[in-house]
Structure 1
Amino acid sequence: MFRVIPFMILLTVLPIHAADRPDNLYSSANLWLQDEDPLPTGGKSPRLAFAMSLVVPGLGELYAGEPKRAAVFLGIEALTWFNYLRWRSKGNDLKAEFRTFADRNWDENRYREWQAYNQARGAPYIETETLPCKRALEGCHRVDTQQYYEMIGKYDQFVFGWRDVSNVGFETGNGNVDSNQRIDYENQRNESNKLLKRASVIVGLTVVNRIASSIHAALRVRSAQLSISPRPDRAEVAFHVLF
């Protein structure tokens, strides 16, 4: 469903002038932002249609007299926000779960013991990361909760903090230590990040939907103006040109 939404928006906008001549389409696109002449369209304004759909997708189409199109754009808007709320909620729930899992199964004291051992031996394992505090504590120089929970699962440097490898000696190379808890933790964290990323991306789709609806509504009102506007007969035009 996440990948289908952009195509739904595109398919909604593309046919809006499929039956129009190319010159009429160009004229509509060019003229709707210009000052409109008082044409017999019930006083409807392309600018107002544009603004209405920019605020609520589909509202401009409703104003233009196209309720079916209005329902499509409004439906896309509702669908995107529904999925945003759903994915964000699930992502945050998983984030709370994997952080609780880490608090239960990763021991910072054990990691500090390994760190002291490593430094005492001349640091055979090069420590490239500095673990921040997950909360404000006395003597803490940097608090970064997000980085704390990312680092302990992402880097081999912190593997000795996992409780299921507490029986592994510090002399073992970090890259050779296998922790099932770490793997489980990373799977939970990745799933949470995936859902939260989906939620943030889909907000951009709501912007696309609003712009598409605004342009469509404005063009439909302008197209109605041009179709209702009286046009001079060709013979009359020729007469004025000749004489």
Structure 2
Amino acid sequence: MKKIFLLIILLSSFAFTQEITESENKLTGILYTDSRITLEEFTEPSLPVFIPRQANKKSPFLAGVLSLIIPGAGEIYTGEYLKAAVFIALEAGLVTAGLIYDKKGDDKTSEFQNYADQYWDVVKYADWIVDNTQQEIDIDKNTQGLLPWERVNWQQLNNAERNANSILGEGFSHTLPPHGDQQYFEMIGKYRQYSPGWNDFKTENNGSTWNVTTPKMLYYAGERGKANDYYNTASAFVIGIYINHFLSVLDGVWSAINYNDNLAVNMRVQGQQFADHYEYIPTVNLKYSF
């Protein structure tokens, strides 16, 4: 068996050597003649197949996510730098304006709350209710160092307010929340029921008439309105921020899709015939449509 195998190898080697020798024997050593012989014996291989490839494709999903996080980031990712600058500038402007007006609202809120603490007195208001409805409200006027809202029994005050409606008539129907509550500062400037607590309310002139608006109450209401206007403006800028994010997401996705539609990249291995040999050369064809 080993002898047969060895014989096959020897015969194959002899045939291969014979083929090379025959090929070499055809060459004459003359460059012009040998070139013609080589070209006549050359058989061109079958044409290579195109290998389509997509290079540098942009992900619409990623572009959308980037723009959702930071407007304009998706546009940078897809190479739309001008639109990216617009979205980024809008974001910066909206955020800055929103913060400015929110700060204005905070400052104005502090102003009108300080104004209320200075010119509206719950003790004065409670005294007026006691005098005009003959109800009892415990008011500590003797202890030193107490603030006005710390001197009044708030539960008794609210009970007296509820009962006052039947005595003073319709409209006197609100109960005052504790000091510091947002509703506290809103109600004392909104409802005339609380006008007796303002220090420019003259009991000797008005008597039991409570349904009036004093100048300081009117001014206070205007200051509260300004604070609310500032906050509303800040909220409008926040809505603008959401809209800017949404539009940037849509544009980022569209830009990625448009980028991929305009970009075509093909790769192939192309054959090249030289004087004495045939060689394969990788080539890349890039096409971008504007």
User: Is this a same-fold pair by TM over 0.5?
Assistant: yes
The structure where strand makes up a greater share of residues is: 2
When normalised by structure 1's length, the TM-score is 0.70
CA-CA distance at 1:39 after TM superposition: 6.5
In structure 2, how many angstroms separate the alpha carbons of the residues matched to 1:41 and 1:205? Answer: 37
CA-CA distance at 1:149 after TM superposition: 0.3
Q: Are residues 178 and 129 of structure 1, via their aligned partners in 2, closer, same or farther at CA, if it must alter by over 3 Å?
A: closer
Q: Is the 8 A contact 2:76 2:84 kept in 1?
A: yes
Identity of aligned residues (%): 32
What is the aligned partner in structure 1 of residue 84 from structure 2?
Answer: 70
What is the aligned partner in structure 2 of residue 210 from structure 1?
Answer: 245
The 5 A counterparts of 1:21-60 are 40-60=54-74
What is the aligned partner in structure 1 of residue 209 from structure 2?
Answer: 173
The structure having more radius of gyration, on CA atoms, is 2
Bigger shift: 106-115 or 39-48?
39-48
CA-CA distance at 1:124 after TM superposition: 2.0
> Can you give the 5+ residue segments of structure 2 that lack an aligned partner in the other structure?
1-51, 135-163, 266-290
CA-CA distance at 1:154 after TM superposition: 0.2
Output the amino acid matched with 1:73: F
What is the aligned partner in structure 2 of residue 190 from structure 1?
Answer: 225
The number of equivalent residue pairs is 183
What is the aligned partner in structure 1 of residue 27 from structure 2?
Answer: none
Output the amino acid matched with 2:167: A
Query: Does the residue aligned with 2:223 lie in a helix, a strand or coil?
Result: helix
CA-CA distance at 1:158 after TM superposition: 0.3
Q: Is the 8 A contact 2:132 2:208 kept in 1?
A: no
In structure 1, how many angstroms separate the alpha carbons of the residues matched to 2:115 and 2:62? Answer: 53
**Cα RMSD (Å):** 2.0
What is the aligned partner in structure 1 of residue 34 from structure 2?
Answer: none
The structure where helix makes up a greater share of residues is: 1
Q: Does 1:105 align with 2:91?
A: no
User: 1:125 aligned to 169, 177, 185, which one?
Assistant: 169
In structure 2, how many angstroms separate the alpha carbons of the residues matched to 1:208 and 1:117? Answer: 56
Q: Are residues 105 and 96 of structure 1, via their aligned partners in 2, closer, same or farther at CA, if it must alter by over 3 Å?
A: same
Output the amino acid matched with 2:121: D
In structure 1, how many angstroms separate the alpha carbons of the residues matched to 2:126 and 2:53? Answer: 78
What is the aligned partner in structure 2 of residue 11 from structure 1?
Answer: none
In structure 2, how many angstroms separate the alpha carbons of the residues matched to 1:63 and 1:166? Answer: 70
Bigger shift: 112-121 or 41-50?
112-121
Query: Does the residue aligned with 2:168 lie in a helix, a strand or coil?
Result: coil
In structure 2, how many angstroms separate the alpha carbons of the residues matched to 1:59 and 1:83? Answer: 21
In structure 1, how many angstroms separate the alpha carbons of the residues matched to 2:58 and 2:133? Answer: 77
Query: Does the residue aligned with 1:132 lie in a helix, a strand or coil?
Result: coil
Q: Does 1:116 align with 2:108?
A: no
What is the aligned partner in structure 2 of residue 241 from structure 1?
Answer: none
When normalised by structure 2's length, the TM-score is 0.59
> Can you give the 5+ residue segments of structure 1 that lack an aligned partner in the other structure?
1-37, 136-144, 231-243
Q: Is the 8 A contact 2:57 2:260 kept in 1?
A: no
CA-CA distance at 1:200 after TM superposition: 2.2
Q: Does 1:158 align with 2:194?
A: yes
In structure 2, how many angstroms separate the alpha carbons of the residues matched to 1:130 and 1:73? Answer: 49
